[in-house]
Amino acid sequence: MQVFIAFVLAAAVLLFGQLALPAGRAAAPHREAAVVAAPAPAVAPPSVPAAAPAPAARPAARVHTVAAGESLSVIAARYSIDVDTLLGANPDAEELIHPGDELVVLPQKGVLHEVAAGDTLWAIAQAYGVDVAAVREANGREGDALAVGEKLFIPGGRPRGRTVSRAYGRQFVWPAAGGISSPFGYRWGRHHDGVDIAAEAGAPVRAARAGRVAFAGWYGGYGYMVLLEHGQGYATLYAHLDDYAVERGEYVATGQRIGHVGDTGYSFGPHLHFEVRQDGQAVNPLQFLP
């Protein structure tokens, strides 16, 4: 009996020993496809602010070459400025412009100021009645440093102490030697649009101001007549001439001889009938003559 029990125990040990996993042997892990982790994203560099756009280039002054038939008013209108602005940038152009002359044309209405000793940007702006910031911007400046002799564009500025237009109108000379025999104004029931200058027949008649000949020839009751255009709306008329020495389209200088005193047309003896017209209207010549 004991032998039988021992046999059964040995058989049980043998049977259960094959079914049980050996001690200390771990189950094989479940194998899955390897997954490679994506690398961590690199640290983004700090954002760099976009560069400020470069300031727009300020309009520059240009040079205009005068063509035949052009006047200061025509050129000013072409560039959307006024005659005062042209004259402010070209003081020598007050006398006369000729084909081929070169004029400085400013980018907009204003004046050029030449810096003098003691000038400051603030004082210049105050003198012209404009804002100092506008002067800085127009000249591309950040600071206020100035150099004697440099030129600043003053946008919207006007000549100081006077208007160029008025000074321009006063720059006339007497067209003939002699006294006034008939003044400007009403006479004999009608308006006399000029002054009559008593002078001897054949005496020289001279241009009262530089300009361009708009007409030269016979003109009804005026007899032989010369009409000069001076720009900025000014014109002068010389009538009852004995003859004329210029042709239409010709440019003449102040004081240049344009004809001779005569007695042609509706006249009662040798004299020069002289008119000044502004924007087509007759004005008293004596307010323009020295």
- The mean predicted confidence, pLDDT, of the chain is 79
For residue 98, being part of any structural domain is answered with yes
Number of domains the chain contains? 2
What is residue 255's three-state secondary structure?
coil
Whether residues 145 and 108 share a domain: the answer is: yes
For residue 74, being part of any structural domain is answered with yes
Residue 226 pLDDT > 60: yes
Whether residues 75 and 160 share a domain: the answer is: yes
Q: Which residues contact 101 (CB under 8 A, 6 or more apart)?
A: 65, 66, 93
Over residues 257-284, the mean pLDDT reads: 94
Cα separation, 257 vs 208, whole angstroms: 10
For residue 23, being part of any structural domain is answered with no
The whole domain housing 187 covers 180-287
For residue 208, being part of any structural domain is answered with yes
Q: Which of 107, 136, 169 is the last residue of a domain?
A: 169
Whether residues 128 and 160 share a domain: the answer is: yes
Whether residues 221 and 141 share a domain: the answer is: no
Whether residues 79 and 113 share a domain: the answer is: yes
What is residue 49's three-state secondary structure?
coil
Q: Which residues contact 224 (CB under 8 A, 6 or more apart)?
A: 217, 218, 239, 240, 241, 242, 243, 244, 259, 262, 264, 265
Q: Which CATH number is 209's domain given? A: 2.70.70.10
Start-to-end CA distance of the chain, whole Å, equals 167
Whether residues 74 and 108 share a domain: the answer is: yes
Cα separation, 120 vs 145, whole angstroms: 8
Whether residues 147 and 196 share a domain: the answer is: no
94 pLDDT band (50/70/90 cuts)?
A: low
Give residue 249's identity as a one-letter amino acid code.
G
Report the predicted TM-score, pTM, of the whole model to 2 decimal places.
0.51
The pLDDT of residue 196: 95
Residue 130 pLDDT > 70: yes
Over residues 195-201, the mean pLDDT reads: 95
Residue where the block lists tokens 């520059």: 60
Nearest of 267, 262, 289 to residue 205 by alpha carbon: 262
For residue 6, being part of any structural domain is answered with no
Whether residues 163 and 207 share a domain: the answer is: no
Task: Please tell me the least confidently modeled range out of 44-48, 90-94, 223-227.
Answer: 44-48
Residue 126 CA: distances (Å) to CA of 122, 135, 190: 6, 11, 49
Whether residues 204 and 159 share a domain: the answer is: no
Whether residues 184 and 114 share a domain: the answer is: no
Q: What is the pLDDT of residues 36-48, one digit of tens each?
A: 455 555 555 555 4
Residue 264 pLDDT > 80: yes
Q: Which residues contact 200 (CB under 8 A, 6 or more apart)?
A: 261, 270
Over residues 135-163, the mean pLDDT reads: 79
The pLDDT of residue 22: 45
Whether residues 165 and 184 share a domain: the answer is: no
Q: Which CATH number is 160's domain given? A: 3.10.350.10
86 phi and psi angles, rounded to 5 deg: -60, -45
